Chain A
Amino acid sequence: MRGLRSAVFGCLASVLCLSAGGSAIAQDAIQVGVLTIRSGPAKPIGDDILAGIETATKMFGPVLNRPVELVVEESLFNAQAAVTKATKLVQQNKVAGILGTSTVETLALLSVADRLGVPIVTSNSGSAAITRDRCNKWVFRTNAEDLMSVESLQELVKETPRLQQAKWFTIGHDYPWSRLVAGSVKGVKDLQYVGETFAPLDTTDWAPFIARARSAGATAVIMPVTLGVPLLQFIQQANEFGLTGTAVLVSPIGLPDWLVEKLGSTSTNVISAGSWAAWRYEEAWPATKEFNEVFYAMHGRVAGMQSLQSASAARMLYSAMTKAGSTDPDAIVRALETVEVNTPVGSLKFQPNGRQALVPLFLGPYEKLDAPRYGATYAQRADPFPASKSLPKSAAEYGCKL
């Protein structure tokens, strides 16, 4: 009887020890929040963002000899939901940093960033204000912002004789970024600008806008249209109406790769004036190739623009944690300010006394590959446009006062 009691006690003690050990392992993991879109028409963008972070976590973890655990939250592309979920990530999950946000979420988090008190490294936010006049101690950005894209667009026009001689027309969505892009084209000296039209955000039938471009005799159409379904619809309908036969389509921030594959040969009518990333940069940069291979092995598809960017943001955050030697938020922020790392989009560091990464943009046309790579048949040619040209001044001169 005593033997039996001892055996039962022993078993219980073992179970308790094991569960305590398991709990210790769980506590030991570094929690990193991923706040991104997980439903609706923009979900493919969120899928790419998450896949990039997962790949980077596999490649560059563990950090500080601790496994990295991703806590994924749905942002709904909604400011209020983003604030609620970010608060939950910080207060309940005790995350050491937040990745994955897009413009809507990042702008919303700026106002509560001091209260959240953890580094937020965004990789999919265009609004220049985020790292200019509204810059914040806690919010860093790895992708190029809108005004950097404007510089690369102007460079593309200056360097491409076909585009210099073209009759330019803007078809965009009716919001400030589109007008900024249109203004930047108009700002190129000696350029023939024949008109512009801005469609309501709920536009599904682009026929009236395409008709305007045609009647204006446009031979180059810049299309600041929301990434995702609207851009897909626009390019498909431009092709349907034969606009792609008479005009070259210029995308101010490139096309997501999932969209390129859906468009197929139609994508070869498009030139990117400044993608945030391009997987074919692997031809010049080994870190991109290394990432592309792991990404393809993990996800069975080519690494898209958002994946390459989100992976770069994750790489920066993890390197900063390593440099800081802890997960103390202030220490990570200080490390982020000085860390310099080889990422899938190039060698990155943040602007001195600023929060914008000195990141290249990638210009070039979409073309058919000689042979499919990573399952992709069409892709953008990646000609890097360095940050020294798109962001030549200091952070303070751009209005960032930390």
Chain B
Amino acid sequence: MFVNILNGVVYGSFLLLTSLGLSLVFGLGRVVNFAHGALYAMGGYALIAVMHAVGAGYWLGLLVAPLLVIPIAIAIERVAIHPIRHRPDVDTLLVTFGLSSMIVGGIEYVWGTGTRLLPPPSPFDAIVYVFGNQYPIYRLAAASVSLLVSASVLLVIQFSPVGLRIRAITDDPGMAEALGVNRKRLLTLVFGCAAGLAALAGALGAPIFAIHPEMGMNILIDSFLVVVLGGLGSLGGSVIGAFFVALTKSIGGGYFAEWSTAFLFLVVAFGLIIRPTGVFGRGRVA
């Protein structure tokens, strides 16, 4: 049971990184970003590109990979999402879906369709005993990095001037714009940062889940479950949702594997019916 809880916390930390970005982008621009999973995959590939092209070590690659993805995401936002932002939500949904296919296609074109294994970096490639249970050190290290970065994002949103603007637009875009907040520029910035978070999660997850063009698909589905459960645009809800989804998958996988996915979707469906604005009631009904 303990190992399953630990697994849930580790996976939850990855989900938190990806779902925070999804939630921020929706809160700010009402963009349901289906390309988020592809940006996660791009993080994995940016990592191996840095490691192989420059000969950098894993940790330097981990630092640089999101920085490579951010400008690409900003360009995508300016070219493909910005011009249609005032159209109905379904338009941006379809565009980001198409973008996702294009990014995955681009990855396949450049790196091929094969899977790449990346061993955990030394000295994190060993096993440690946690309360008498063997557990890979790398998973604990990756979860710590994810949680640290997620906490930093939440602190920035809560206490910085930029965070104040983001919250203002999420709560009341019309009033915030009337008070001089530049929503367009902020959305571009947030889209880039959200992509950076997804890329970081992809790079962190690479030694665990392997790198392949479709690697973002499953985490995208789980991240959407998190965001829907927590409330669209609610960051606090995303925190609860990420760990709920991850722990359900992990503990469910350990004890009722065949039913865990069905149970998860049932909870989300039930949550949507009785509390469509998420666990804290602060989300939006799109």
**Residues on A facing B (Cβ under 8 Å):** 39-41, 43-44, 174, 197-200, 202-205, 207-209, 211-212, 214-215, 228-229, 232-233, 236-237, 240-242, 258, 262-263
Q: How far is the CA of A44 from the CA of B113 in the complex (A)?
A: 7
CB neighbours (8 Å) of B115 from chain A are 41, 44, 228-229, 232, 262
A-B pairs with beta carbons under 8 A, tally: 98
Q: How far is the CA of A66 from the CA of B148 in the complex (A)?
A: 67
Contact assessment for A202 and B261 in the assembled complex, using a CB-CB cutoff below 8 Å: yes
Interface residues of B in 98-115 (CB under 8 A from A): 108, 113-115
Contact assessment for B251 and A208 in the assembled complex, using a CB-CB cutoff below 8 Å: yes
Q: Provide the main secondary structure of the chain A interface.
A: helix
Decide yes or no: A232 and B210 within 8 Å by CB, A40-B113, A240-B138 being known contacts.
yes
Q: Does B57 contact A (CB under 8 A)?
A: no
A selection of 16 A-B contacts at a CB cut-off of 8 Å is: A40-B113, A44-B114, A174-B258, A197-B253, A199-B257, A200-B257, A202-B218, A203-B253, A205-B11, A207-B7, A207-B11, A208-B251, A211-B4, A211-B254, A233-B209, A242-B127
CB neighbours (8 Å) of A228 from chain B are 115
Closest to B137 in A: A240
Q: How far is the CA of A242 from the CA of B249 in the complex (A)?
A: 22
Q: Does B71 contact A (CB under 8 A)?
A: no
Name B260's contact: one of A200, A215, A236, A258 (CB within 8 Å): A200
**Of A43, A197, A200, A212, most B-chain CB atoms within 10 Å:** A200
Closest to B113 in A: A43
Q: How far is the CA of A197 from the CA of B250 in the complex (A)?
A: 13
Chain B: how many interface residues by the 8 Å CB criterion? 38
Q: How far is the CA of A81 from the CA of B39 in the complex (A)?
A: 28
Q: Provide the main secondary structure of the chain B interface.
A: helix
Contact assessment for A197 and B209 in the assembled complex, using a CB-CB cutoff below 8 Å: no
CB neighbours (8 Å) of A212 from chain B are 254
**Residues on B facing A (Cβ under 8 Å):** 3-4, 7, 10-11, 108, 113-117, 120, 127, 134-136, 138-139, 208-210, 212-215, 218-219, 221, 249-254, 257-258, 260-261
CB neighbours (8 Å) of A208 from chain B are 4, 7, 249-254, 257
B227 to chain A, nearest CB (A): 18
Contact assessment for A204 and B213 in the assembled complex, using a CB-CB cutoff below 8 Å: no
Closest to B221 in A: A202
**Of A208, A232, A237, most B-chain CB atoms within 10 Å:** A208
**Of A202, A205, A237, most B-chain CB atoms within 10 Å:** A205
CB neighbours (8 Å) of A204 from chain B are 209, 215, 218-219
Since A207-B3, A232-B210 are in contact, a sample of 18 more A-B pairs with Cβ atoms closer than 8 Å, ordered by chain A residue number, is A41-B212, A200-B257, A204-B215, A204-B219, A205-B11, A207-B7, A207-B139, A207-B253, A208-B253, A208-B257, A209-B253, A211-B254, A214-B3, A214-B134, A228-B115, A240-B138, A241-B127, A242-B127
Q: How far is the CA of A232 from the CA of B214 in the complex (A)?
A: 14
Contact assessment for A209 and B218 in the assembled complex, using a CB-CB cutoff below 8 Å: no
**Of A40, A240, A258, most B-chain CB atoms within 10 Å:** A240
Contact assessment for A211 and B3 in the assembled complex, using a CB-CB cutoff below 8 Å: yes
